[in-house]
Amino acid sequence: MRVLIVEDDAVLRDGLRVGLGIGGFNTDAVETCEEADAVLKNHEFDALVLDLMLPDGSGLDVLKSMRERRDTTPVLLLTARDRVADRIVGLDAGADDYLGKPFDLDEVAARLRALLRRAAGRPGARLEWNGLSLDPAKQKVEQDGKPVHLSRREYAVLHTLMAHPGQILSRSRIEEKLYGWQEEVESNAIEVHIHHLRAKLGSDAIQTVRGIGYRLGGEM
Amino acid sequence: MRVLIVEDDAVLRDGLRVGLGIGGFNTDAVETCEEADAVLKNHEFDALVLDLMLPDGSGLDVLKSMRERRDTTPVLLLTARDRVADRIVGLDAGADDYLGKPFDLDEVAARLRALLRRAAGRPGARLEWNGLSLDPAKQKVEQDGKPVHLSRREYAVLHTLMAHPGQILSRSRIEEKLYGWQEEVESNAIEVHIHHLRAKLGSDAIQTVRGIGYRLGGEM
DNA sequence: GAAATTCTTAAGCTTGCCTTAAGCCTGTCG
DNA sequence: CGACAGGCTTAAGGCAAGCTTAAGAATTTC
């Protein structure tokens, strides 16, 4: 799950990155409206954490122009104070939730999860597929009721696949979810993780579609 | 369990801190409405002990503005006398309980525990998990019926974990429960306490979730 | 006020994870 | 049938998180 953080305060930004990292999110961060606009047009995110007060303008403008181009990525607003007026304007402009500074990092992560759940149109918190169940809140995976221990990356790969059940996901698509666009990896890391996942979940849990990508196995 | 005390009378304030400290709570204290507002916006508490008569206004205003910003922290009001009118107003404003001065310190602690229990939606007084049982009132821990002696910090760590059974708690989340916002610790103190707890409770009582935090071990 | 317990800090140590890379396997197409 | 490309497997290196230990500071107890 990739999240873009738009926040100019370095302390807050790093705090968010760490906090959301713990929450299992992969984050990218920018500091200005301009950067945000540019990045949003070129990359897809699962959610956006947007500060309202930015050096070169209001986050509201970023939000508005997103919605104008039909970008429905869930947005969590950070409002500088408990200013009810700001919040109302923000929600009217198409934000999905807001949070007044200062805030608890765990709460940000929790709200983001709620946002993502809502956005995916799924009712429950957990993802299910063919005997596999993944609980994003507890970061726990079970197969036929038995817990499976996965490392951070393995979990992230599986999460990505289970978020699009039955669909074929290209390797680069999966990489985008695991890494920021800044870091990029140039090796077969994903293949290795897939390999480990198959070792733990059974070799038919994940199917390879030659030349295209991977998808969850099973009845489909 | 962190409790914020809002009380201008120094004698009473210190009495509360000592009394609640003995009761197993970690307390922070402020003297005015203004301070209370500021601190409440910046930190999360498990409960609030709020005097109504404060030098710069009424505790009711603090309470009201809390509820306005959706802060549902349980609040125990201290009313100056047995003034029924005050109490009714207080409860209407969103207080969870009240207590007339003068009061018994043990009773304050007991009422707070009841408040916290209610807030957590648990019926019983004691927390149970996988052979462990923790009684907040007596501050006693038993494992398979046998008493276990824990130090203050060890108890607090275990209490925090048992209040969120099955959930992963980040180290910073645990630190927040142990220390006031003034003290903050920057070392591996939590790790050391966990280590001691494992020595006393068995190494599988607490699981490490690498990169994320800790949670109670056992089934599930 | 002294003794005992408990807490914090800090330094090494251990372990698990991620990436990289090299070689192998397998399906596809000339 | 043979070569090639894509994917799989395996293992090693490096890094970071967490564990352990111990000593000094702080706190509590008598």
pLDDT, tens only, B39-69: 887 777 889 999 988 999 998 899 988 887 7
- How many alpha carbons fall within 13 Å on the CB side of residue A149? 4
* Within B 145-204, residues with CB less than 7 Å from strand D: 171, 188, 191-192, 194-195, 198, 203
What whole-number distance in Å separates Cα of residue B189 and Cα of residue A97? 36
To the nearest whole Å, the CA of B42 is away from the closest chain A CA by: 6
Q: Is the pLDDT of residue A123 over 50?
A: no
The number of residues making up chain A comes to 220
Q: Is the pLDDT of residue A194 over 90?
A: yes
Q: Write down the pLDDT at residue A167.
A: 86
User: Which nucleotide across the nucleic acid strands is nearest to B189, CA versus C1'?
Assistant: C8
Q: Write down the pLDDT at residue A32.
A: 92
Q: Write down the pLDDT at residue A80.
A: 66
What whole-number distance in Å separates Cα of residue A80 and Cα of residue A98? 10
Other CB atoms within 10 Å distance of the CB of residue B37: 18
Q: Write down the pLDDT at residue A84.
A: 54
Amino acid at A73: T
Whether the CB-CB separation of B47 and B76 falls below 8 Å is answered with yes
Q: Which nucleotides of C are covered by protein (CB under 7 A)?
A: 5-11, 16-22, 27-28
Give helix A171-178 / helix A189-201 axis angle, nearest 10°: 90
pLDDT-derived band at A220 (thresholds 50, 70, 90) equals very low
- Tally helices (H) and strands (E) across chain A: 8, 13
Interface contact flag, B41 A82, Cβ < 8 Å: yes
Mapped onto helix, strand or coil, the DSSP state of residue A25 is coil
First to last CA, chain B: 25
Per-residue pLDDT tens over the stretch B84-124: 666 667 777 778 888 877 777 778 888 888 788 777 665 55
B211 touches strand D (CB under 7 A): yes
A10 touches strand D (CB under 7 A): no
Helix (H) / strand (E) containing B40: helix B33-42
User: Which nucleotide across the nucleic acid strands is nearest to B190, CA versus C1'?
Assistant: C8
* Within A 164-193, residues with CB less than 7 Å from strand C: 178-179, 185-189, 192-193
Q: Read off the tokens for B22.
A: 């003995």
- How many alpha carbons fall within 13 Å on the CB side of residue A179? 13
Per-residue pLDDT tens over the stretch A2-38: 889 999 988 788 888 877 877 778 888 899 999 999 8
Contact list, B42 vs chain A (CB under 8 Å): 102
Residues linked to residue B50 through DSSP beta bridges, in sequence order = B6, B77
